[in-house]
Structure 1
Amino acid sequence: MTLEAKTLSSTDFVYWSSLISGGVAGLVVDIVLFPIDTIKTRLQSERGFIRSGGFRGIYKGLAPAAAGSAPTAALFFCTYDGLKSHLGQFATKTQQPYVHMISAASAEIVACLVRVPVEIAKQRRQALSLKYNTSSLEIWLHALKSEGIRRGLYRGFGTTIMREVPFSFIQFPLWEYFKQNWTMVTGTTLTPVSVAICGAVAGGIAAGLTTPLDVAKTRIMLADEIATKTSVYRILRGIYQDRGIKGIFAGFVPRVLWITLGGAIFFGFYDLTTRLLNSDE
């Protein structure tokens, strides 16, 4: 085998490793923590927590979430690891955080191609259970027929990116920084458990700071067609006038809890799966 062939094989393995590890991690997180996500969505709904279902049927919408979690996470990490590896060659040590930010932001945009349609079905099942007491496939078909691709299946795409990109700008540089300094600070080696702790802390911080963007995204995905024409600023201003700062940060506790726990499980399983695949290789 030539050196060129070996290099190609190594590169292919990195992508396959990212796809498999990300898919496993994403699926585990969405299934384990789905009830917390449902509570968060209902707290952010314009109809209010009780009218959106309260604590009833907290697993509604699990099917589309589970089906979409693996490909979404796989696409994200395949893009993130690929760009980080490529761009990192041209950056100095002090420029690495910018590499992580660019890689994470690009990966989020790619992942949203799958994430947004999944979120449409999932959140309508979670918060509009009376109106959408149908399957996820029927919700997608209805959205496609009545609202089209852009306003139906990809409603809130721009808002989701506006939420995910700032979130990634905060989470991934923090995660990478915590990992790089773990041994120096704690005196212990980096294990899947320590990677999980780094992911939990980074995710919790990013989740808290970006909650208002998550509230706006949820409102747009649950709103009728007329409401989708308004801007994020107008939505948040209206929420603030109606409910004050509590409305802007609705669902703060379950969101931070969900992403903190999710970060621990997600990054822990991602690192563990990557190590297992590397050991097999």
Structure 2
Amino acid sequence: MSMAAMTTATSGDDLRRKKHVPAVIERRVEPWLHFVAGGLGGMIGAVATSPLDVLRTQQQLYGTVTLQGTQPQPNIMVRSVYPLIRTGGFLKEIYLREGIKGWYAGLGPALAGIIPARAIQFFTYGNGKRILTQWNDGRETPLVQLSAAGLAAVVTTTATSPIWMVKTRMQIQRGKYTSSLSCLRSIIQKEGIMGLYKGTSASYLGASESAIQWMIYERLKHFMSLRRSREPGTRKHGKTASDWFEYFGAAASAKLLASLASYPHEVLRTRLRQPPDANGMVKYKGLVHSAKIIYLEEGVRGFYGGLTPHLLRTVPNAAIMFLAYELVIYYFGTAPKTH
């Protein structure tokens, strides 16, 4: 490191001490606490947004279809809310066709995947960030956060891909399988062990979304921390309801921006997990091949099928999950020592 860079870093540290800027992580967190907090948040979010997850999967697989008798109106106000109206219409159709159970198709394997997936993700990210920060001379930079997020995404995807395959098959072939176990056996018998990992390449591509989301969230938390440092008495009284609402909003904003930037991988992953036809033929073979077919048959819009229900599900899901995580960390973490 050059003398100028060392001087700049030292000046930044001095400025931080003078302003008494609190660290982003305000509690000493045991490694296992990341695991528990992530799993709990993932479970709550999944149950709350399951109907939209079912709808998203169907629209990603079959594309978007305009409801009969429901057409966009020329009025700009109507056009702005039309996606929400159409999403509500699709949910109503699922309910009328399959009942309340249709909204929760695949929830069992989803929870079996989401709980360990989020637990692994938060565990890997929290501890990976701590280790990388130590290697970086104690400085938690955006690059450290980005690297930890990428590592967490890869580890989580590799560990839970078979569960997501079972979940997707049960959602798009409802009634064919009596249980998650029967679905698992069917995939292995017909497609082999590697059949459980179809779409994993697209999931690795989606690691960028997780990395972007974490980095934006951490930056927003940092700015919130700077603002709180200027408010007298904040340290004495701990976090307020306003702080928790800000965490909720920061998580929602981070997920929204990350999803918009990387959504096509979601469609590619779902198509790659589509089962073979009656003749055993597979339509989508690999990322590039799938992208070509979607573009030729559906155009650019095909890469954004199910975007509205996806955002309606994942944005509040992420907000709930991250808020639950922060609450567990705050109330069960070890308070920093005061001098």
TM-score band w.r.t. shorter chain: 0.7 to 0.9
**CA distance, structure 1, for counterparts of residue 47 and residue 293 of structure 2:** 33
Q: Which residue of 2 aligns with 1:146?
A: 190
State the TM-score, normalized to the length of structure 1.
Answer: 0.85
Q: CA deviation at 1:137?
A: 0.8
Which residue of the other structure, out of 185, 192, 195, is the alignment partner of 2:244?
A: 192
Indicate the residue corresponding to 2:220 in structure 1: 178
Identity of aligned residues (%): 26
Deviation of 1:93 after TM superposition, in Å, equals 8.8
Q: CA deviation at 1:266?
A: 0.7
Residue 111 (structure 1) shift: 1.2
The structure that is helix-richer by fraction is 1
The corresponding residue for 2:204 is: 161
CA distance in 2, matches of 1:60, 1:280: 42
Against the structure 1 CA distance between its residues 169 and 13, is the aligned structure 2 distance closer, same or farther, given a 3 Å change threshold? closer
Q: CA deviation at 1:46?
A: 3.6
1:157 and 1:276 map into 2 onto residues whose CA distance is 36
Alignment correspondent of 1:26 = 42
1:102 aligns with 2:138: no
Asked if the contact 2:217–2:250 (Cα under 8 Å) also holds between the matched residues in 1, the reply is yes
2-structure distance, mates of 1:137, 1:128: 14
Tell me which moved more, 204-213 or 113-122: 113-122
Deviation at 1:279, TM superposition (A): 5.8
Larger radius of gyration: 2
Query: Cα offset for 1:212?
Result: 0.8
TM-score by length of 2: 0.71
Unaligned runs of 5+ in 1: 1-11
SS at match of 1:89: helix
Question: Tell me, what secondary structure is at the counterpart of 1:129?
Answer: coil
Distance in 1 separating the partners of 2:335 and 2:65: 48
Superposition RMSD on alpha carbons, in Å?
A: 2.8
1:42–1:49 contact (8 Å) kept in structure 2: no
Tell me whether 215-224 or 187-196 shows the greater mean CA deviation.
187-196
Structure 2: distance between partners of 1:43 and 1:221: 14
Letter in structure 1 aligned against 2:268: A
- Asked if the contact 2:199–2:268 (Cα under 8 Å) also holds between the matched residues in 1, the reply is no
Given the superposition, is the C-alpha separation of residues 62 and 182 from structure 1 closer, same or farther in structure 2, using an over 3 Å criterion? same
Q: State the alpha-carbon separation in 2 of the partners of residues 76 and 228 from structure 1.
A: 32
1:151-189 Cα offsets, whole Å, 9 max, x none, are x222222221112x1102211110100000024458777
- Once the two structures are TM-superposed, the CA of residue 23 in structure 1 deviates from its matched residue by 0.8
Task: Tell me which residue corresponds to 2:112.
Answer: 67
Deviation at 1:14, TM superposition (A): 1.9
Q: CA offset at residue 115 of structure 1?
A: 2.7
Q: Between the two structures, name the one with larger relative contact order (CA 8 Å, sep ≥ 6).
A: 2
- Listed as ranges, the matches of 1:5-154 within 5 Å are 14-46=30-62, 55=94, 56=98, 57-91=102-136, 96-130=141-175, 132-150=176-194, 152-154=195-197
Q: Which residue of 2 aligns with 1:213?
A: 265
Query: Once the two structures are superposed, what CA deviation does each residue of 1:218-273 show, in whole Å capped at 9, x if it has no partner?
Result: 00011426537722122122112211222111111111221211111010011011
Cα pair 1:208 1:255 within 8 Å, conserved = no
Q: Is the contact made by 2:169 and 2:275 (CA closer than 8 Å) also made in structure 1?
A: no
User: Is the 1:35–1:59 contact (alpha carbons within 8 Å) kept by the matching residues of 2?
Assistant: yes
- Which amino acid is the alignment partner of residue 100 of structure 1? Q
Equivalent-residue separation in structure 1 for 2:295 and 2:139 (angstroms): 39
| Cα separation, partners in 2 of 1:203 and 1:13, compared to 1, 3 Å | closer
Maintained 8 Å contact 1:68/1:114 = no
Which residue number in structure 2 is paired with residue 6 of structure 1? none
> Per the alignment, in what secondary structure is the counterpart of residue 227 of structure 1?
coil
- Name structure 2 gaps, 5 residues minimum: 1-27, 67-89
Q: Cα offset for 1:89?
A: 2.1
Question: Does 1:227 pair with 2:272?
Answer: no
* Equivalent residue number for residue 310 of structure 2: 255
| Alignment length (residue pairs) | 266
